[in-house]
Amino acid sequence: MLALACGALVGFSLALIGGGGSILAVPMLLYVVGLPDPHLAIGTSAVAVGANAFANLVPHARAGHVRWPAALAFAAAGVLGAFAGSTLGKRVDGHHLLALFALLMLVVAALMLRGRHGGVESRYPKPRLYPRLGAAGFGAGALSGFFGIGGGFLIVPGLMFASGMEIIAAIGSSLVAVGAFATTTAINYAASGLVDWRAAALFVAGGVGGGWLGARLAWRLARTRGALNRVFALAVAVVAVYMLVRNLHP
C-alpha cells in the first residue's frame, strides 16, 4: 500500500507540474516504503522511472513534440554514460551516495524555484548537431546512472543547448533519453540483484493512477502551477536536508 501511494504521489506531481518528481522516488522507497539498502532503492527507482517515462512518451509523440533524430542520438550517447555512471554508483558507499544525492536534490530544488525558461529557437538543427548531442548526452547519462534518476532537469536544457530545439520539443524528446537512461541503470542494478521487483511494480501501478489524476487536474490548475512548482521545490529541499542529516551522521 505504501509503494502504491508513493508511486501515485510521484506520478501525480510529474503530471501536474512537470519534471523533478521522480527525484523523490529514492527517498520515498527508503524512508516510507522501507527498503533496507540505498542501492536497492536506486535500482528499484530506476525501473519505475523508466516505465513512467516511456508511458508518458506516447502522448508527446502523438502530439509531434519529439524530434526523433536528435532524441535518439542524445539517448544513444547517454546510454553509455548511464552504464558507466551506474557501475560507479554501485561501488560507492551507500551513506556517501545518499549524501551526494541530497546535494543534487538541493540543486534541483533551486532550479525549480528559478523556473524553466526558453522560447522558440529558430536554429534547430544547430550546426555540428551530433557532436554536441553526443557530449551533452553522455554527461547527462552518467549523472542519471550514478544517482538512479530520470534526469529530465538535465536533459531538457541539454537538448536545447545542443540542438537548438524549442522547449516543448525538448520536453517531449527528453522522455526518450529518460527512459533509455533509467532502463540502462535498472538492468545494471538488476544484474547485481539490486531491484525489488514487487515494490517496483506497485510503484509503477501507483504512478499510472496518480499520473492520470494529475493530467486531468493540470489544465484546471494551469494558473496556479507556478505556485505549486514552488511548493514542490521547497518539499524537495526539505527532504534533501533530512537526507543530509541522516547520512552525514548515520
**Confidence class for position 80, pLDDT limits 50, 70, 90:** very high
Q: What is the pLDDT of residues 156-174, one digit of tens each?
A: 888 988 898 887 888 889 8
pLDDT over threshold 90, residue 45: yes
pLDDT over threshold 90, residue 234: no
Quote the pLDDT of residue 116: 56
For the chain, what is the HEC assignment? CHHHHHHHHHHHHHHHHCCCHHHHHHHHHHHHHCCCCHHHHHHHHHHHHHHHHHHHHHHHHHCCCCCHHHHHHHHHHHHHHHHHHHHHHHHCCHHHHHHHHHHHHHHHHHHHHHCCCCCCCCCCCCCCHHHHHHHHHHHHHHHHHHHCCCCHHHHHHHHHHHHCCCHHHHHHHHHHHHHHHHHHHHHHHHHCCCCCHHHHHHHHHHHHHHHHHHHHHHCCCHHHHHHHHHHHHHHHHHHHHHHHHHHHCC
Mean pLDDT of 170-199: 93
**Confidence class for position 202, pLDDT limits 50, 70, 90:** very high
Quote the pLDDT of residue 77: 97
Quote the pLDDT of residue 21: 65
Domains of the chain by residue range = 2-248
Mean pLDDT of 213-242: 76
Quote the pLDDT of residue 30: 93
Q: What is the pLDDT of residues 97-107, one digit of tens each?
A: 999 999 988 98
Quote the pLDDT of residue 19: 58
Q: What is the pLDDT of residues 10-33, one digit of tens each?
A: 877 766 665 566 788 899 999 999
Q: 160 or 199: whose pLDDT is higher?
A: 199
